A and B are shown apart, each in its own frame.
Chain A
Amino acid sequence: MVGAGLAGLRGAEALRASGYRGQLTLVGDEPHRPYDRPPLSKHVLLGHLPADASRLPSDLTDDVTWRLGVGARALDREARIVHLTDGDSLPYDRLLIATGTRARPWVHEDEAKLANVFTIRTRDDSAALREVLAARPKRVVVIGAGFIGCEVAAVCRELDLKVSLIDPAATTLSRVLGTTVGGMIGEVHRKAGVEMRFGSEVEHLEHKNGRVTGVRLADGKHLKADVVVVALGAVRNIEWLDGSGLSADPGGLDCDEHGFVLDDQSRPDHAITAAGDVARFPHPLYGGRRVALEHWGHAVAQAEYAGRLLAGLEPAAPYAAVPNFWSTQGTMVVKSAGLTDGADAVAIVQGDPAERRFVAVYGRAGRCVAAVAVDSARWLPIYAEKVATAAPFPPTETATDRPLRDLEIQDPGFA
């Protein structure tokens, strides 16, 4: 198993659970056993949990070898060897690639090294940022209003810290949810006291004595900050596959419908599967379009599927789990099923955005493709089912809280 995160761990467990009793090695470039990342951008930053608390439960026993603190450097498929960064090499019969992603760094390398400039991906990142937030900085600037950016901004408000959220888009979460629903969620953050700077781009980080002091925007404006959090998404860890003959680019490592990796001639290598953030695979729910999903539940489900595959169990059907994720932003929970890509319509089918409690369903060419539930988790499954079956959009005209009301079909607001 190359990659000792959630997907590597669950893949290893699935391999064992499928009856494999041979040697099993997990390689991870962090010095830690697999741990859970969701608490890192929330409860660790709030100080409710220490950063080292979230090591994942596992039913792996002592019959596995851990190679932690060492990364994979190269893959030789002909010799079936993984070369490690410490010069060692590991032969394999079967390989799971679950190298995941790393935080996308700030564009200017020298500025990224300044004191009090953070990204959040690892538990060490989170522990360091927590220490700084606990010292009550005067102003935090968060660059990027995606899910992690929103979570961090909400944490700052819970800690009663001044925080600005900067994004070139028109609203929070515009890339994934569109500006219509993204704007509804952004409104919650604005009311909580987050200063919103949309349509703004940060050009440079300003600094003094090696420490960040503020940001300079593209329009020439300055904003003081003693902490900057860079939340610009993630970069897939595929560089080590250069020269392996596998088809990989920044969009992911290509796989067939089961998760066997493809070479640059699109031929599957039946000794190697991929799972989690790094894997790009054709999703049957979206007409076979190739997607790579950075979702917790997907890492678990695809790794379990891949582990069974590596154990030699015949795949029953192509991997087809409905994509889903959650984000806890302050005390607000945003959950989603399906993918909004290409959505041409959205409707609030239940609840009321003004109450911070609603369900939005996205349509594409008259079919339900995604649903987003804000503080409405119990309603999501029925809409997830509609996404899974590509039910007609809009889905239902009647709901107990909206008897016989005509749905307002809105433009979802994707650029």
Chain B
Amino acid sequence: MADATLLNQVKDFANRADPYPIYAKLRQNPVSHQDDGSPEGTWVASTHGAIASLLGDPRVSSETLPPADRPKTGNPVKDFLIKPIKDRITNQHRPFIFRDPPDHDSLRAAVMHQFTRERVQGMRARSDRLVEELLDAKRDAHRFDAVDDLAYPLPVTVICELFGVPREDEAQFHSWATQLATALEPDSLADDENRAENSRTFDAIADYMSGLIKDKRRHPKDDMLSGLANEATPEGVKMGDYDLIATSVLMLVAGHETTVNLITNGLLTLLRHPDEFEKLKADPSRAPRVIEELLRYEPPVQFRTRTTLSPIDIAGVTIPKGADLVLLLAAGNRDASVFPDPDTFNPDRVGSRHLGFGGSLHYCVGAPLARFEAESALTALTRRLKNPRLVEDPPPYRSGAALRGPQHLPVAIDGMV
């Protein structure tokens, strides 16, 4: 029965709080074929070695988005002439997370050219201040929701400021981003209603970005969108409008939907390991260790999907050409052959090559932001929360299996320092 397959158990919301026992079963076969209700089934890689190998395999493609399939309106003129931006982007200008070389490389290089060390360093200082402001607002509270009060607004503000999205538009972005993030959940592709909603949302956000880009061309400011809209890379790459829309939507959505999980999973894990909470409080310079271990132990992105361009022999199986592939990063992160005692949260591990940000060509562009935002947040939380207690354990989770994290993380406190 299809429902019983391990991949379906991973997707099953009932297992959201603790998918790790299912991952352990999956790891018994480094690469396995799973019936998940799709016509051909899905191939799942679950050991560190298999995932790392497939991430760096030139036969593995990221071009997994199906072509746009907007229902015809019945009006031939409309169907022919009106090409919504969404369709054009889906078919020809996908963001680089869904693209392969050489296009991927030039688009990504354009972003990296604007994602300068100086810009990132500036946002680090800003992130530290933002955390203090957000916590100040809850100074006299006795209950604190780590998601709504800190982990969501922090990365949203950082990514919007970095790109130059006006603060008054952030709320609108919030709902768009939440909707579009569902595109990374495999089941959402099979859900007609959700797909239609994604199309409408994408049209709206693309429309908005199109206007914002025009504004950045007329009135350039010192932000990434202005840079991308007006400057070419040293190799002469300057994005066209559709690529620029697709890229900025990707970065903005990613900025909204991933780091929130790192921060929230971080606080949750520290509250479940009070000794580690105290150690971080006593020595904030431990933060980078704590964060790397969080990226291994509770990665914000649990898996990514790919497809194969030709058959691949790996770990005793042959993945056929054109197969749907799930790379279970979070399972690879608990592989005992690479991480001794893998189910123990231990920030003092040495030489950890975790897969929390993926790897190879598509390694997370926003990783530096995620790292310093989590550092700002977790060092401030351990320093300022007085006697924090989890109100619910496990907390309520968001629906996503790929982008996995608590919906809310209510914490009882005796005020703040």
Q: How far is the CA of A403 from the CA of B63 in the complex (A)?
A: 13
Contact between A379 and B53 (Cβ–Cβ < 8 Å)? no
Contact A400 B309, beta carbon cutoff 8 Å = yes
- A398's partner among B59, B62, B101, B361 (CB-CB below 8 A) is B59
A382 in contact with B57 (CB, 8 Å): yes
Pick the contact of A397 from B61, B102, B105, B310 — CB < 8 Å?
B310
User: Which residues of A, 351-383, contact B by the 8 Å Cβ criterion?
Assistant: 351-352, 355, 357, 378-379, 381-382
List chain A residues, Cβ under 8 A from B61: 400
B37 close to chain A: CB less than 8 A: no
CB-based contact A379/B58 at 8 Å: yes
A399 interface residue (CB < 8 Å to B):
yes
Tell me whether A350 and B56 are in contact (CB under 8 A).
no
Q: Which residues of A366-415 have CB atoms within 8 Å of chain B's CB atoms?
A: 378-379, 381-382, 385, 396-401, 403-404
B54 to chain A, nearest CB (A): 9
Find out whether the CB atom of B309 lies under 8 angstroms from the CB atom of A403.
Answer: yes
* Chain A contact residues: helix, strand, loop or mixed: mixed
- State the Cβ distance, B296 to closest chain A Cβ, in Å: 20
A396 x B310 contact (CB < 8 A) = yes
Q: Cβ of B92 < 8 Å from any Cβ of A?
A: no
A399 and B56 in contact, given A378-B360, A378-B361 (Cβ under 8 angstroms): no
User: B56's contact among A351, A355, A381, by CB below 8 Å, is which?
Assistant: A381
Q: Is B100 an interface residue (CB 8 A)?
A: yes
A379 contacts across to B, CB distance below 8 A: 56, 58
- Residues of A within 8 Å of B62, CB to CB, are 400
Please state if A400 and B101 are interface contacts (CB–CB under 8 Å).
Answer: yes
Q: Is the CB of A378 within 8 A of B309?
A: no
Nearest chain B CB to A241's CB is how many angstroms away? 37
Q: A400-B100, A401-B100 are in contact. Are A385 and B53 (CB under 8 A)?
A: yes
Tell me the bound Cα distance from A400 to B102 in angstroms: 8
Expressed in whole angstroms, the Cα–Cα distance for A397 and B310 within the complex equals: 9
A382 to B309, CA, bound (A): 16
What is the 8 Å Cβ interface bit string for chain B, positions 98-126, against chain A (1 contact, 0 not)? 00111001000000000000000000000
> In whole angstroms, how far apart are the Cα atoms of A381 and B57 in the complex?
9
Contacts A378-B360, A378-B361 given: A398-B56 contact, CB under 8 Å? no
A357 to B63, CA, bound (A): 22
Contact A400 B58 (CB under 8 A): yes
CB neighbors of A among B17-73 (8 A): 53, 56-63
Q: Which of B53, B56, B60 has the most CB of A within 10 A?
A: B56
The reply to whether A382 and B58 form a contact with Cβ atoms under 8 Å apart is yes
- Give B362's nearest chain A residue, CB to CB: A378
| Complex Cα–Cα for A403 and B102 (A) | 11
- Which residues from chain B contact A400 at a C-beta distance below 8 Å? 58-63, 100-101, 309
Which residues of chain B from 341 to 372 have a CB within 8 Å of any chain A CB? 360-361
Bound CA–CA A381/B105 (angstroms): 18
Q: Shortest CB–CB separation between residue A347 and chain B, in angstroms?
A: 13
Partner of B53, one of A352, A382, A399, A403: A382
In the bound complex, CA of A385 to CA of B52 (Å) = 12
Are the CB atoms of A399 and B58 closer together than 8 Å? yes
Instruction: Evaluate contact between B53 and A398: CB separation under 8 angstroms.
Output: no
Residue with the greatest number of chain A CB neighbours at <10 A, chosen from B58, B62, B63, B310? B58
- Assess the B59–A396 pair: CB atoms within 8 A: yes
Of chain A, the residue at the smallest CB distance from B308 is: A398
Complex interface: chain A residues within 8 A of B57 (CB): 382
Contact with A along B78-107 (1 / 0, CB 8 A): 000000000000000000000011100100
- How far is A398 from B309 in the complex, measured between Cα atoms in Å? 7
Distance, CA A278 to CA B59, complexed state (A)? 40
Q: When the two chains form their complex, are residues B56 and A396 in contact, meaning their CB atoms are under 8 A apart? A: no
Query: A352–B235 Cα gap in the complex (Å)?
Result: 15
- Tell me the bound Cα distance from A327 to B72 in angstroms: 56
Chain A, residue nearest B104 (CB): A400
Contacts of A401 in B (CB 8 A): 58, 100-102
Name the CB-closest residue of B to A350. B58
Q: Which residue of A lies closest to B235 (CB)?
A: A355
Q: Please, how many angstroms separate the alpha-carbon atoms of A385 and B57 in the complex?
A: 11
For the complex formed, measure the closest distance between the CB of A357 and the CB atoms of chain B, giving whole angstroms. Answer: 8
* Distance in Å: Cβ of A394 to nearest Cβ of chain B: 13
Output the residue of A351, A379, A382, A400 with the most chain B CB within 10 A: A400
> Which residues does chain B contribute within 8 Å of A403, judged by CB atoms?
309
Instruction: Determine the distance from Cα of A382 to Cα of B101 in the docked complex, in whole angstroms.
Output: 16
Q: How far is the CA of A385 from the CA of B102 in the complex (A)?
A: 23
A381 to chain B: which residues have CB within 8 Å? Answer: 56
B102 and A398 form a contact (CB under 8 A): no
- When chains A and B are docked, how far (Å) is the Cα of A223 from the Cα of B105? 42
| A-side contacts of B361, CB under 8 Å | 378
A399 touches B59 (CB 8 A): yes
Q: Mark B306-342, 1 if CB is under 8 A from A, else 0.
A: 0001100000000000000000000000000000000
Complex: chain B residue closest to A359, CB-CB? B58
B56 and A378: CB pair below 8 A? yes
> Chain A: which residue is nearest B360 at the CB level?
A378
Residues of B contacting A357 with CB < 8 Å? 105
CA distance A379 to B100 in the complex (A): 13
Given A400-B100, A401-B102, A382-B56 contact (CB < 8 Å): yes
Task: Output the nearest chain B residue to A356 by Cβ-Cβ distance.
Answer: B235
Bound CA–CA A382/B58 (angstroms): 9
Minimum C-beta distance from B241 to chain A (A)? 24
A399 to B61 CA separation, bound complex (whole angstroms) = 9
CA distance A350 to B56 in the complex (A): 13
B59 contact set on A, CB distance < 8 A: 396, 398-400
Q: Roughly how many angstroms separate A400 CA and B362 CA in the complex, as a whole number?
A: 13
Contact with A along B282-323 (1 / 0, CB 8 A): 000000000000000000000000000110000000000000
Q: How far is the CA of A397 from the CA of B309 in the complex (A)?
A: 10
Residue on A with the closest CB to B363? A378
Contact with B along A342-353 (1 / 0, CB 8 A): 000000011110
Cross-chain contact A398 with B360 (CB below 8 angstroms): no
Complexed CA–CA distance, A124 and B100 (Å): 46
Look across to chain A and name the residue whose beta carbon is closest to the beta carbon of B103. A401
A351 contact set on B, CB distance < 8 A: 101-102
Q: How far is the CB of A330 from chain B (nearest CB, A)?
A: 13
- Tell me whether B310 and A398 are in contact (CB under 8 A): yes
CA A381 to CA B55, docked complex, whole Å: 11
Within 8 Å CB of A349, what residues of B?
58
Closest to A403 in B: B309
Residues of B within 8 A of A397 (CB): 310
Q: Closest chain A residue to B106 by CB distance?
A: A355
Shortest beta-carbon distance, A10 to chain B, in Å? 16
Q: List B residues 217-261 near A (Cβ within 8 Å).
A: none
A385 to B61: give the CA distance in the assembly, Å.
20
Give the residue name and chain of the B residue nearest to A355 (CB): B102
Bound CA–CA A399/B312 (angstroms): 12
The smallest C-beta distance from B94 to any residue of chain A, in angstroms, reads 13
Of the A-B pairs whose beta carbons lie under 8 Å apart in the complex, a sample of 9, sorted by A's number, is: A351-B102, A355-B102, A378-B361, A381-B56, A382-B57, A397-B310, A398-B59, A400-B59, A404-B309
Can you list the 10 inter-chain pairs with the closest CB atoms, starting with the nearest? Answer: A399-B58, A400-B100, A401-B101, A398-B310, A398-B309, A378-B360, A382-B56, A401-B102, A400-B61, A398-B59
- With A401-B58, A404-B309 given, name 15 new contacts (CB 8 A): A350-B58, A350-B101, A351-B102, A352-B102, A378-B360, A378-B361, A381-B56, A382-B57, A396-B59, A396-B310, A397-B310, A398-B309, A400-B58, A400-B59, A400-B309
| Interface residues, chain B, with chain A CB atoms under 8 Å away | 53, 56-63, 100-102, 105, 309-310, 360-361
